[in-house]
Amino acid sequence: MNMACPGCGGSFPPTDQPTHRYIGASPGCWAVYGQVLAREYEGQDYFAAQRWTVDAYAAQHPGVPSAQSVQSVAVHLIGLFLAIDRQLPSDKIIRAIKMAADHGNFHWLNPPSKIGTLAVLDILEAPNAAEHHRMVSDWARSVWASWSEHHATIRSWANAALS
């Protein structure tokens, strides 16, 4: 019997593998995320999608309110905003996320009932690097769009980090 992931809603075979301590993912989903990251780190053709993969995954799996999950969701949504709306390169996004994490005053954002139209399991099925990039972009955009109720707050956090 498969296990539903509390973040993305995907169905995964049960496993005794570990999961992340504050990202709200099932062990099976966390394992698939590890496979996708491994593909991105092993293949230069895939690596450019890595920043969007990390931000989309974390924002899609917010977990439950805690200091760590509040900060995680905030900085990864800031990353999506800067990538999608501002179209900043990864190096600038990484600097902004670091500034936000170091100085941000975040609060819990109530997650949408459904976060995104794609999930990490879809990304794993990409047959080549070009399709992987397209799917990661679509995934990240759908995750960002699903948090629309909080876009003004996220923009303000990002602007504070960039100032």
Long-range contacts, 96-103 (Cβ 8 Å, 24+): 96/158, 96/161, 96/162, 97/161, 99/161, 99/162, 100/74, 100/75, 100/157, 100/158, 100/160, 100/161, 101/71, 101/75, 103/160, 103/161
Look up the pTM and report it.
0.96
Confidence band (pLDDT; 50, 70, 90) for 103?
confident
Confidence band (pLDDT; 50, 70, 90) for 163?
confident
d(C-alpha 21, C-alpha 63), whole Å: 9
Q: Helices 67-84 and 129-146 meet at what angle, rounded to 10?
A: 120
d(C-alpha 140, C-alpha 79), whole Å: 10
- The pLDDT of residue 1 is 87
- The pLDDT of residue 104 is 80
Confidence band (pLDDT; 50, 70, 90) for 15?
confident
Residue boundaries of the structural domains of the chain? 3-162
Q: Which helix (H) or strand (E) holds 45?
A: helix 44-47
Confidence band (pLDDT; 50, 70, 90) for 126?
very high
| pLDDT digit string, tens, across residues 31-90 | 999 999 999 999 889 999 999 999 999 999 999 999 999 999 999 999 999 999 999 999
d(C-alpha 107, C-alpha 130), whole Å: 37
Q: How many angstroms separate the Cα of 135 from the Cα of each of 52, 85, 123, 130?
A: 11, 18, 6, 9
Confidence band (pLDDT; 50, 70, 90) for 156?
very high
| pLDDT digit string, tens, across residues 135-147 | 999 999 999 999 9
pLDDT above 90 covers a percentage of the chain that reads: 87
d(C-alpha 151, C-alpha 136), whole Å: 20
Q: What is the chain's mean pLDDT, rounded?
A: 95
Residue with tokens 């954002």, as numbered in its chain: 109
- The pLDDT of residue 43 is 82
